[in-house]
């Protein structure tokens, strides 16, 4: 049953919750089109996780998107691929530096971008033509007769303000920062995952929308994250990247039984999901000198700064060691809890299977034995960046009910929207940017019709 909405303090065309990639893009684009906009950010500053990111990239074609992300929603995936070029043009149009395209993760294509400057340019547009509220959250959405009419906001000082809005965009970045939601929707062991992202994305958009009747899913979609050394906590957000073991895709992963459990070469971001499924959600990453020099000491993406991550993690107290030969794996430190003889035998068997072409589990890429001493071993655990399950949206960024009908006045983009990626990944910035800009188009369409 709907209750009469409280008296509103002011009415806008677009109310945006979340000033990260999706929210800033939507608010700035809508403001530049003449819409009356309020942008609300829970944290003390704009940027969200996008403030740590640098490459706007995605699959170069719909076919590649389907190949790498076969269980993602095809309509949303196509929208990201088709919208990518125009979205980058919009970024450039704000005077932001966008470098030439490079290959990302082996299958993607994208551009190193001055994301910090892009976020500032969007902020400027919003401040000039609308309003930005920092340290503010939405208490609840205003819902009448099934339509969303705005939200009740509360500032840090506890002051309430009621904003009526023709459209409300949820762009709060998903629920990666909420341990209970992670345990409920990802995996029981996901409660303990370290967060390698902005801390404020705790599922607010999802809670607000579900209370308004929104559908949520799909189940078991996983999350975007990476493997990091166990027992090392981040000193500052720069370490989100510095302590990420992207090169796990060229090494060998062993679980607590001393066994391999996945094709490591599909990508570190997917190894992360596989490690979460292993006993105690931890594993040993083993590389030899070839992988160490050829992959770990090289930049992960063209243009990125290389650093010796193994050394950094070792200095910071990670469970890490260097072995002169594979036989030394017989003497793994007891307190690590891995069966050392089984680990050694698995590595010897891995090398044998590489030579006979009988690798189990198989490897799509880099099926080369680890034979160049010394050997580097480090314990890794999964860390989460953002969640793939979320509010069900259509290609216009409209939030849908279980029956597939749109909830009038309610939009979602970025980490708050589910279904774009499903246990696969092709660029969180691009997805947030494309659907953020789409949300602005959807929200300003009624204005265009009037003028």
Ligand X SMILES: Cc1cc2nc3c(=O)[nH]c(=O)nc-3n(C[C@H](O)[C@H](O)[C@H](O)COP(=O)(O)OP(=O)(O)OC[C@H]3O[C@@H](n4cnc5c(N)ncnc54)[C@H](O)[C@@H]3O)c2cc1C
Phi, psi of 195 (to 5 degrees): -100, 120
Options 7-15, 290-298, 321-329, 422-430: segment touching ligand X (CB under 6 A): 422-430
Segments of 59-178 assigned E as strands: 98-104, 108-113, 131-133, 136-144, 147-155, 160-170
Report d(CA 91, CA 109) in Å as an integer: 17
Options 14-22, 70-78, 285-293, 353-361: segment touching ligand X (CB under 6 A): 14-22
Residue 267 binds ligand X, judged by CB under 6 A: no
The one among 13, 37, 48, 149 contacting ligand X by CB under 6 A: 48
Which residue's CB atom is positioned nearest to ligand X?
Answer: 20
Q: Decide if 419 contacts 76 (C-beta within 8 A).
A: yes
Report d(CA 22, CA 231) in Å as an integer: 33
CB of 205 to ligand X, least distance (A): 7
3-class state of residue 126 by DSSP:
helix
Residue 137 binds ligand X, judged by CB under 6 A: yes
186-205: contacts with ligand X (CB under 6 A): 196-198, 200-201, 204
Residue 171 binds ligand X, judged by CB under 6 A: yes
Residue 427 binds ligand X, judged by CB under 6 A: yes
CB of 87 to ligand X, least distance (A): 12
Query: How many binding residues for ligand X (CB under 6 A)?
Result: 41
Please report the DSSP string for 289-357 in residue order.
HHHIIIIITS-SSTTSPP--HHHHHHHTT-SEEEESSGGGGGG--GGG---HHHHHHHHHHHHHHHHHT
Nearer to ligand X, 241 or 284 (CB): 241
CB of 9 to ligand X, least distance (A): 17
Q: Decide if 17 contacts 416 (C-beta within 8 A).
A: no
Those residues whose C-beta lies under 8 Å from the C-beta of residue 302, and which sit 6 or more positions away, are 102, 103, 112
52-81: contacts with ligand X (CB under 6 A): 52-55, 57
Nearer to ligand X, 42 or 292 (CB): 42
Q: How many CB atoms lie within 10 A of CB 365?
A: 13
**Which residues contact ligand X by CB under 6 A?**
17-23, 40-43, 48-50, 52-55, 57, 137-138, 171-173, 196-198, 200-201, 204, 240-241, 385-386, 414-415, 427-430, 432
């Amino acid at each position: 049953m709907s209750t009469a909405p409280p008296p509103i303090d002011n009415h806008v065309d677009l109310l945006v919750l979340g000033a990260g990639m999706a929210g800033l893009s939507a608010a700035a684009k809508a403001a530049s089109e003449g819409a009356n906009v309020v942008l609300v950010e829970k944290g003390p500053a704009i940027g969200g996780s996008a403030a740590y990111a640098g490459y706007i990239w995605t699959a170069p074609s719909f076919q590649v998107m389907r190949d790498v992300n076969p269980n993602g929603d095809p309509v949303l995936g196509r929208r990201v691929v088709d919208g990518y070029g125009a979205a980058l043009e919009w970024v450039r149009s704000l005077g932001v530096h966008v470098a030439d395209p490079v290959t990302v993760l082996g299958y993607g294509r994208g551009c190193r971008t001055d994301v910090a400057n892009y976020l500032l340019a969007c902020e400027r547009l919003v401040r000039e033509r609308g309003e930005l509220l920092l340290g503010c959250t939405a208490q609840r959405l205003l819902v009448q007769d099934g339509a969303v009419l705005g939200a009740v906001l509360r500032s840090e000082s506890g002051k309430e303000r009621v904003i009526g809005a023709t459209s409300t965009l949820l762009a709060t970045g998903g629920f990666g920062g909420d341990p209970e939601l992670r345990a409920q929707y990802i995996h029981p062991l996901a409660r303990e995952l370290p967060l390698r992202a902005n801390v404020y994305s705790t599922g607010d958009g999802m809670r607000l929308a579900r209370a308004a009747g929104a559908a949520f899913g799909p189940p078991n979609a996983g999350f975007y994250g990476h493997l990091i050394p166990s027992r090392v906590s981040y000193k500052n957000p720069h370490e989100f990247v510095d302590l990420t073991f992207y090169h796990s895709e060229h090494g060998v992963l062993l679980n607590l039984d001393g066994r391999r459990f996945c094709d490591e070469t599909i990508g570190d971001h997917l190894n992360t999901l596989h490690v979460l499924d292993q006993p105690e959600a931890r594993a040993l990453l083993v590389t030899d000198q070839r992988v160490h020099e050829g992959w770990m000491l090289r930049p992960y993406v063209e243009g990125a700064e290389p650093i010796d991550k193994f050394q950094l993690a070792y200095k910071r107290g990670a469970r890490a060691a260097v072995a002169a030969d594979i036989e030394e794996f017989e003497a793994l430190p007891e307190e690590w809890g891995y069966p050392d003889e089984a680990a050694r035998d698995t590595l010897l068997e891995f090398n044998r299977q590489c030579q006979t072409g009988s690798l189990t589990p198989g490897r799509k890429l880099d099926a080369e034995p680890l034979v160049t001493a010394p050997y580097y071993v480090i314990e890794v655990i999964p860390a989460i960046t953002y969640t793939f399950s979320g509010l069900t949206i259509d290609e216009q960024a409209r939030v849908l009910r279980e029956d597939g009908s749109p909830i009038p006045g309610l939009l979602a983009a970025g980490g708050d929207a589910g279904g774009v990626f499903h246990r696969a990944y092709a660029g969180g910035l691009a997805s947030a940017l494309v659907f953020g800009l789409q949300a602005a188009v959807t929200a300003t369409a009624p204005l265009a019709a009037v003028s």
